[in-house]
Amino acid sequence: MSLKTWVWIGFFVGSTVGQVVPVVFGISMLSGWSFFWSSVGSVLGIWAGYKLGQYLGAE
């Protein structure tokens, strides 16, 4: 898979996990905290996808 694919996978997984974190603590999925953690998860997911793609030698 290409590096771009790994970055997209990281983005989707990170934003999904980030959006679910507030729900685990009883906060609504449509709250500002959910948006905030989804954004944080997206950035971390993009970084993790990029690093994983580099590690696996994606071009």
If pLDDT is split at 50, 70 and 90, which confidence band does 28 have? confident
Rg (CA), the chain: 13
The Cα–Cα gap between 30 and 5 comes to 28
Q: Is 7 helix (H, G, I), strand (E, B) or coil?
A: helix
**Distance (Å, rounded) from C-alpha 9 to C-alpha 25?**
25
Count of domains for the chain:
1
Look at residue 31 in the predicted model and tell me its pLDDT.
87
Instruction: Give the length of the chain.
Output: 59
CA pair distance 41, 53, nearest whole angstrom: 18
pLDDT at residue number 30:
86
Instruction: Tell me which DSSP letter residue 23 carries.
Output: H
By residue range, what is the domain housing residue 34?
3-55
> Has residue 59 got a pLDDT over 80?
no
pTM of the shown model: 0.85
